[in-house]
């Protein structure tokens, strides 16, 4: 992802995966209400094998996913992240 950083982002939980080790559906429901806004820098881009953090500042995370298993780039402003437990939509503003 090119351009200036930080990028303003929104992470929306799409669903809890079947067989999730830690589903947490009650705490983070899949009904569209689990939405986190924040920032992303060059060093915090999503990577397979790592958790993804929604940042409030360079050193302060507001939400951290489980380990990313798959990244699907839909377009320059939309990425689908599949983690160990959930599927998310990452919107880049």
* Confidence label for 22 from pLDDT (cuts 50, 70 and 90): very high
Would you say residue 2 has pLDDT above 80?
no
Whether 87 shows a pLDDT value over 80: the answer reads yes
Task: Provide the Cα torsion 89, 92, 70, 80; round to 10°.
Answer: 30
Q: Given a cut of 90, is residue 1 above it in pLDDT? A: no
- Give the pLDDT confidence score for residue 3 in this predicted structure: 84
Tokens 């982002």 sit on residue: 9
The domain segmentation of the chain, as residue ranges, is 7-92
Opening angle at CA 69, ends 13 and 87, nearest 5: 15
Q: Which two tokens stand for residue 14?
A: 């799409």
pLDDT at 40 over 80: yes
Q: What is the mean pLDDT of the chain?
A: 95
Query: Which pLDDT score is estimated for 85?
Result: 97
Instruction: Give the closest residue to 43 by CA, choosing from 29, 33, 56, 53.
Output: 53
Q: What is the 8-class DSSP label of residue 91?
A: E
pLDDT (tens digit per residue) in 50-81: 999 999 999 999 999 999 999 999 999 999 99
């Amino acid at each position: 992802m090119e351009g200036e950083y930080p990028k303003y982002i929104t992470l929306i939980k799409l669903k809890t995966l079947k067989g999730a080790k830690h589903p947490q559906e009650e705490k983070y429901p899949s009904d569209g209400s689990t939405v986190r806004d924040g920032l992303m820098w060059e060093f915090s881009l999503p990577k397979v094998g790592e958790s993804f953090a929604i940042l409030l500042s360079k050193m302060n995370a507001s939400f951290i996913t489980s380990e990313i298993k798959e990244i699907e780039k839909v377009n320059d402003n939309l990425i689908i992240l599949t983690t160990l437990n959930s599927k998310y939509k990452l919107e880049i503003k």
